[in-house]
Amino acid sequence: MSPRRVLRIARWEAGRNVGTIDRRTAILLACTLLVIALVTPALVLSAPTPGEGVYRVAVDDANPYHAPVAATDRLSAVPPGANAVERGRADVAVVGTSGFVVADSAKGRAALATLRSATEAYNDRLMATEDDVAAAFPVTVDVSYVERGTRVSGSGGGTASDAGDGTGTATDNGGTTADDDTTADSGATTGDGTGTTTAAGSAASAGTAAPRVSGDASAPANTPGGLTPPFPLESLLLAFVFVLPLNVVIQSYGSSVLDERIDRRGEPLLVSPATRADIVAGKTLPYLAAAALVTVPIAYAVGAGVASVLAVFLLAGLFLAVTFLGALFARSYKELTFVTVTVTVVLMAYAFVPAVFTEVHPIAAISPLSVVVRDIRGDPFQLGGFLLATVPVATAALVCYGLGLGVYREEDLFTQKRLPAKALDALAAPLTSVRRVGLLTVALVPFVLIAELFAVAALFVVPPDIAVPLVLALVAIIEEVAKSVHVYAGFRNARFARSTRTALALGLASGVGFFLGEKLLLLTRLVGLSDLTVGGAAFGNAALGAGSLALLAAPLVLHVVTASVSALGARRSARGYAIALAGAILLHLGYNYTVVTTVG
Amino acid sequence: MPAARTNVLSVSSLHKTYGDVEAVRGIDFEVADGEVFGLVGPNGAGKTTTLKTLAGLLEPTSGEVVVNGYDAGDPEMRRTLGFLPEESPLYEDMTPRSYLRFFADLYDVDRETADERIAAALDRLDLDARDRPVGDFSKGMKRKVAIARSLVNDPDVLVYDEPASGLDPTTTNVVIEFTRDLAARGKTIVFSAHDLHHVESVCDRVAIVSEGTVAAKGTLDEIQAEHGRVEYRVFTDVEIPGAERLDADRGDGVRYRMRVDSMAAVEDVRERATEAGGNVVDIRTRESTLEDVFLAVTGGRA
């Protein structure tokens, strides 16, 4: 590859694009970028919280409850007045220092629960400022003697065992992460909390403690208002801001690649001393630079670090790589639109759906955006999570470019074959020997990983009884297709003799290649993804081969046998391949089921 | 052709298949330095595939293609070659000047030299509009820009696929004259054409390609000698068996015509006319044109 030619082509590509954008489009693009530039810092500063001020509390400024209300996002203070609740101006009205009027509705009850937890959190914060911690947080222990073997109910809702080991089942606060303003009732309070605690709270700076709110303190706090959203909305919005401008970039990139193919415009470039790699790199560079120009300033604006920028940059690389491949396969701008929309939707879903569960669930680690979210929230950097989020994405992007380069030549670039036929041509192009079949299988493993991670992400919310069989089936389909589709492409494009011996050799190469390549799936262990029920179903096979020498041969034999079955069908015809592939999938499914049910 | 000339281009046992279609089935030819070599043949004969293989655009399924000592797939070979495809694929938003400068840059031609070459080529091709977008151009003007592009690296070998295809007569003449001019400057040119008149007027040697193979090859004289024929038309004033009666009476009586292909046959006609009491009154000869040879060799396909 000649850097000088790459840069020359890149300069030409950038110049052409700038020259072809009309004034109206340029203004529209500038406005979009301006809006993003203005909205992003505003989002960071405002830190939007869903449900902010959703519960109205009628409380006087001088009332001790006013401070907890003012300090809580979900509560908003409204002026007290006659019949504030009855008139619908408030959900809860504070009467004096101990009385409450609550609207007779679910929202009213939720408002009261929120006020209660807000008050306790407020009081705890005040207490924390006291020098005498023991006085501020006195520990009360009730001791009662019981005979061994007698089960008694614990006061905190848990059950004490006869051994008295204290293992109760703590009431989970909505199953969410601990939130600053959410206090789990530790059981330290006595009774139902109806008393009007007048804790000292004399710290001048902290103000006066609010009395406890009457009501059932042990009632679960997972009311709508009490629920913290399970995802970091503001961080996700910011992450979205990263990816949104990428759509403009990939649309432009896809059009440019297709433009080379329309009327054979790219033919003279292929005759020039520039190599295919020079041409592709030169044409891609401006768009990669545009992606960097979009992501880096935003990253710095929102306080994200190098890891975030790198993660999003690699995601942008995958967007571009898949668009490149799609633009090589599309026969028209209409098909290109279909391709780019599909690319956008699938990759956005892959990036965003798991990232919603950042800090909640290990599934989030598969998305590069989870790195951004964690970074913005100030969480410590995790190498395992970073690798899982970026390695499959980066390698998949490289493989896409590799496959694309294989068909970036006259006889493939300008033909008007259907999209699947072109995809098969791309897969067949690098197959010049049996060994290359194995290597291509290894190269396809990142796509397998992405597809399986996506399947796990889509199904982890489904009950395990349904999700596990579905995941097992999907994994079998994905892996068997990945092991055989290029073998079929090789036979179809006359790369290999259609003999049984050749088919078996290709099956062996592909099976071994997959066995070695699937060790990439061990990345899932770094973040505990394989510990999930559905994660174990999807990735248990890779771990099995790595963890147990005795069982090492089992997945190897499976992959070689099923790949050989598919190859034997592929050497005959498309129909033969389809039938053999179905058989291989069933074999794989049976194996997976056996592993899950016996090995666990 | 002088024997001292060295071959700068050779094609040996070239085969090219597209899937199940065998487009080229063993083509062989050589082109000497400074020679103008024409490839003619019906549509689908394999001419364009052969030319694209020469330009390094297509990889041979088997066989060998060597240009200027380089294998045709070698990127270094491309520095020494100028290729003009059948169509004129241009970036329509670019001006001729910027387009040609871009390609000159890819060939590592410095700006000053590039500008000189661009100006010289466009002058000779009579293209004045050099700073307007190519998208505004007629087909002929685009063709001229494409021809100029093939010359920005001052190549030794030019491979032109149908250089005058689809152009109006005036532009066609400009292009053909320009090709002659290039040949006069010592460029080695391989080009294909449908118009056999152009081939006859420009080429030193010709290969007639039919169904992926070379059906005839050599100078025009050699091809005509090998594949052409001389037709003798013998006119008599008496009817003899096999003769054709001519309807047109030109005032000198009824005439009969016999078509034969050798002097011996002419002598035979003369004897039979004498026996019938008449005479041979006229003998005319007609040599095969390249078109006749082409039609004969290709079985009349075009």
Question: How far is Cα A115 from Cα A219, in angstroms, rounded to an integer?
Answer: 13
Q: What is the mean pLDDT of chain A?
A: 74
Q: What is the pLDDT of residues A450-487, one digit of tens each?
A: 788 778 777 766 777 777 788 888 889 999 999 999 99
When pLDDT is averaged across residues A182-186 and rounded to a whole number, the result is 35
Query: Pick from A175, A228, A233, A474: which is nearest to A352 by CA?
Result: A233
Contact B108 A273 (CB under 8 A): yes
Structure tokens at B211: 């169904």
Phi then psi dihedrals of residue B45, to 5 deg: -75, -20
| DSSP conformation class of B28 | E
Give yes or no: residues A261 and A323 share one domain: yes
Q: What is the pLDDT of residues A538-562, one digit of tens each?
A: 555 555 544 555 566 788 888 999 9
Domain assignment present for A593: yes
A149 exposure class (CB count in 10 Å sphere: 0-12, 13-18, 19+)? exposed
Q: Is the pLDDT of residue A361 over 70?
A: no
Residues of B in contact with A5 (CB under 8 A): 106
Closest Cα in chain B to A490:
B19
Q: Amino acid identity of B178? A: F
Domain assignment present for A46: no
Give yes or no: residues A484 and A392 share one domain: no
3-state helix, strand, coil in chain B (%, to 5): 35, 30, 35
Question: How far is Cα A310 from Cα B148, in angstroms, rounded to an integer?
Answer: 45
Residues 167-206 of chain A whose Cβ lies under 8 A from any Cβ of chain B: none
First to last CA, chain B: 29
Helix H or strand E segment including A276: helix A276-302
Q: Is A9 on the interface with B (CB under 8 A)?
A: yes
Give yes or no: residues A251 and A384 share one domain: yes
Give yes or no: residues A548 and A401 share one domain: no
Question: How far is Cα A559 from Cα B20, in angstroms, rounded to an integer?
Answer: 32
Give yes or no: residues A508 and A423 share one domain: no
Residues of A in contact with B56 (CB under 8 A): 271
**To which residue do tokens 């804790």 refer?**
A199
pTM over 0.90: no
Residue that wins the pLDDT comparison between B228 and A57? A57
Helix/strand/coil for A574: helix
Contact A271 B106 (CB under 8 A): no
Contact B89 A268 (CB under 8 A): yes
Q: Which pLDDT value is given to residue A200?
A: 34
Domain assignment present for A325: yes
Q: What is the pLDDT of residues A305-360, one digit of tens each?
A: 788 888 888 888 888 999 998 888 888 888 888 888 887 778 877 777 666 666 65
Contact A271 B81 (CB under 8 A): yes
> To the nearest whole angstrom, how far is the Cα of A283 from the nearest Cα of chain B?
14
Number of domains in chain A: 3
Contact B106 A494 (CB under 8 A): no
Question: How far is Cα A300 from Cα A372, in angstroms, rounded to an integer?
Answer: 12
Give the residue from A82, A104, A127 where a domain finishes: A127
| Per-residue 3-state assignment (H helix, E strand, C coil) for A55-102 | EEEECCCCCCCHHHHHCCCCEEEECCCCCCCCCCCCCEEEECCCEEEE
Q: Is A269 on the interface with B (CB under 8 A)?
A: yes
Q: Is A22 on the interface with B (CB under 8 A)?
A: no
Give the residue from A64, A97, A127 where a domain finishes: A127
Give yes or no: residues A402 and A478 share one domain: no
Q: Which pLDDT value is given to residue A525?
A: 55
**To which residue do tokens 């002929």 refer?**
B140
Question: How far is Cα B6 from Cα A200, in angstroms, rounded to an integer?
Answer: 109
Closest Cα in chain A to B90:
A265
Residue that wins the pLDDT comparison between B54 and A262? B54
Q: What is the pLDDT of residues A15-56, one digit of tens each?
A: 876 666 666 666 777 777 677 666 666 665 555 555 566 788
Q: Is the pLDDT of residue A268 over 70?
A: yes
Domain assignment present for A184: no
Contact B89 A265 (CB under 8 A): yes
Q: Name the strands in the sheet holding B230-236, side by side, starting at the edge strand that comes first in the sequence.
A: B244-246, B255-260, B230-236, B280-287
Q: pLDDT means per 10 residues in chain B (302 residues)?
A: 68 87 89 89 87 90 89 85 87 89 91 91 85 86 90 90 82 84 88 80 86 85 77 88 78 82 88 90 81 73 52
Q: Range of A105's domain?
A: 55-127
Q: What is the CA radius of gyration of chain A?
A: 31
Give yes or no: residues A423 and A491 share one domain: no
A:B CB pairs within 8 Å: 60
Q: Which pLDDT value is given to residue A520?
A: 64
Q: What is the pLDDT of residues A575-591, one digit of tens each?
A: 999 999 999 999 998 88
Residues of B in contact with A494 (CB under 8 A): 19
Give yes or no: residues A404 and A331 share one domain: yes
Q: Which pLDDT value is given to residue A235?
A: 56
Q: Name the strands in the sheet holding B62-67, side by side, starting at the edge strand that comes first in the sequence.
A: B21-32, B7-18, B62-67, B70-71
Interface of B with A (CB under 8 A): 18-19, 52, 55-59, 75-76, 78-79, 81, 83, 85, 87, 89-91, 93-94, 102-103, 105-108, 146, 149
Q: Which pLDDT value is given to residue A220?
A: 41
Lowest mean pLDDT segment, chosen from A99-103, A379-383, B238-242: A379-383
Q: What is the pLDDT of residues A384-400, one digit of tens each?
A: 778 878 888 888 899 89
> To the nearest whole angstrom, how far is the Cα of B99 from the nearest Cα of chain A?
10
Question: How far is Cα B56 from Cα B73, in angstroms, rounded to an integer?
Answer: 5
Domain assignment present for A47: no
Helix/strand/coil for B227: helix
Give yes or no: residues A318 and A406 share one domain: yes
Report the alpha-carbon angle B15-B19-B25, nearest 5. 20
Contact in structure between A438 and A510 (CB atoms under 8 Å): yes
Q: What is the pLDDT of residues A478-517, one digit of tens each?
A: 999 999 999 999 998 888 888 899 999 999 999 999 988 8
When pLDDT is averaged across residues A193-198 and rounded to a whole number, the result is 33
Give yes or no: residues A73 and A121 share one domain: yes
Give the residue from A82, A101, A127 where a domain finishes: A127
Report the alpha-carbon angle A292-A297-A298, nearest 5. 100
Question: How far is Cα A584 from Cα A572, in angstroms, rounded to an integer?
Answer: 16
Give yes or no: residues A330 and A472 share one domain: no
Residues in chain A: 600
**A583-590, long-range: CB < 8 A, 24+ apart:** A584/A480, A584/A483, A584/A484, A585/A476, A585/A477, A585/A480, A586/A476, A587/A558, A587/A561, A587/A562, A588/A475, A588/A476, A588/A479, A588/A480, A588/A558, A588/A562, A589/A472, A589/A473, A589/A476
Give yes or no: residues A359 and A474 share one domain: no
Domain assignment present for A332: yes
Domain assignment present for A160: no
Domain assignment present for A584: yes
> To the nearest whole angstrom, how far is the Cα of A268 from the nearest Cα of chain B?
8
